[in-house]
Structure 1
């Protein structure tokens, strides 16, 4: 089993080096790094070209005009050539043994049961604490489970590191909507969970997140205003999946917000 690490980046020349350094230090080197530059105006291209010259890890670099992270992810998936794919943002990085842990867990399960379409691991903050709920010391909660992205979201675990079979990931794409530059990743993860099972490892961290003040996670309303059709599609889908009445109502409110912002554009 080999891994394609996919990174969509925009103007992160000052931070992408942290990710590169973490990839260089991996205890297992069975991976390729695919960087899709979504029209960066800084020195990202030159930096990645220098990394390629060093030939310390396998790197593919693709430059495209700015169209949003989801459009860059689509291209990265097309470029992937290994068995499994994981998305890592350019301002995040991996723990030194992340690739090794992913390999071991997936290989162990694939040797027994190949019915899983994907696997999911945890993210931590830079101080080492789990993002969201910490399940590591709660003996009454499972450390592993088979579930869906929508169901796991109820556990308040924050962003997670999904690893999907490349062959299955290539069968889905983020919708591209003219004039919009964002589409929620959970929409695609849910589509994948409709056709295959996902195994969650709630106690195994692989990714260190480093949220930026100007990052996509920093201003939800701005994202909603900028990509109302994308969020409309996403929330309509979530209404169908959600079982809790209160949460359904919240999603219905979001649908009307999306319509409102679309009419204002």
Structure 2
């Protein structure tokens, strides 16, 4: 059995998925399985993957089709079907960096017995520029939340032990909504485990014009229950008073957008939620304004 599963959620990405495949073909170490979770694509994704499955002889390609439900539901399906020790998500518009699989396997062999949740590495753009900030030289281990609380910036590539990521609940699904932040599971893992720091680029990324990061203002309006849920979780594990207040204001706003009149009762910080409610209405107005301008 392979050590690593590279899983790729895909929704109408037949035009970018080939470069993800090419980056995996170029890996010097083939100790991995590639799992594509097709989130209801209507393009040629299925046809492409079938051709690759018939042609590829050096690593296994698995394909699962599901009805469209959003990125978090594709992650749920992936985690349910991964049987390797480690897993990493490489999005359908991104590439595995040259030599990344070998770096992951070699590093993991050195720290496997240290009870880490996994590894945290770097993302870079297609020109080789680090996304956000690199890791401080002295940083050998961290949680994801602690890294950002200390001033870390930019998306990072997370390699998790499969048993650890599956030890916390799956992403919830809210009727009519298709977004719950992936950080939910990572936050829960943070409470029990640390990640070993790899100061290496593991993924080359390109943000698409129709990706969730570019349409976030509209996502707030389309998926208020998902956002309220995530803010409520964040309020239970605050990294600072400032962050707690921001999360509470966002929780009020998303709950108001969702029409949830019980949000104060359901809040883990009820008094603070009462105080933040007027600011929540103000944030809601700003969200609606920004969404109209997209």
TM-score (structure 2 length as normaliser): 0.83
Partner of 2:284 in structure 1?
none
Given that residues 38 and 63 in structure 1 are in contact (C-alpha distance below 8 angstroms), is that contact kept between their aligned partners in structure 2?
yes
Q: Secondary structure of the residue that 1:116 maps to in structure 2?
A: coil
Q: Secondary structure of the residue that 2:117 maps to in structure 1?
A: strand
Given that residues 37 and 74 in structure 2 are in contact (C-alpha distance below 8 angstroms), is that contact kept between their aligned partners in structure 1?
yes
Partner of 1:142 in structure 2?
137
Partner of 2:103 in structure 1?
101
Q: Say if 1:251 and 1:69 are closer, same or farther in 2 by CA, change over 3 A.
A: same
Q: What are the equivalent positions in structure 2 for 1:9-88 lying under 5 Å apart?
A: 9-56=10-57, 57-88=59-90
Given that residues 6 and 77 in structure 1 are in contact (C-alpha distance below 8 angstroms), is that contact kept between their aligned partners in structure 2?
no
TM-score (structure 1 length as normaliser): 0.92
Q: Residue 143 of structure 1: CA displacement?
A: 4.9
CA distance in 2, matches of 1:134, 1:95: 16
Q: Residue 68 of structure 1: CA displacement?
A: 0.9
CA distance in 2, matches of 1:143, 1:175: 37
Q: What are the equivalent positions in structure 2 for 1:199-238 lying under 5 Å apart?
A: 199-201=196-198, 203-238=199-234
Given that residues 171 and 185 in structure 2 are in contact (C-alpha distance below 8 angstroms), is that contact kept between their aligned partners in structure 1?
yes
Q: Secondary structure of the residue that 2:6 maps to in structure 1?
A: strand
Q: Secondary structure of the residue that 1:6 maps to in structure 2?
A: strand
Q: RMSD of aligned C-alpha atoms? A: 1.6
Q: Which structure has the larger Rg?
A: 2
Given that residues 91 and 210 in structure 1 are in contact (C-alpha distance below 8 angstroms), is that contact kept between their aligned partners in structure 2?
yes
Given that residues 150 and 242 in structure 1 are in contact (C-alpha distance below 8 angstroms), is that contact kept between their aligned partners in structure 2?
no
CA distance in 2, matches of 1:257, 1:228: 8
Q: Secondary structure of the residue that 1:182 maps to in structure 2?
A: coil
Q: Residue 132 of structure 1: CA displacement?
A: 0.2
Q: Residue 192 of structure 1: CA displacement?
A: 1.3
Q: Secondary structure of the residue that 2:140 maps to in structure 1?
A: strand
CA distance in 2, matches of 1:165, 1:255: 31
Runs of 4+ in 1 over 4 A off after TM superposition: none
Could you tell me which runs of 5 or more consecutive residues in structure 2 were left unpaired when the two chains were aligned. Answer: 261-294
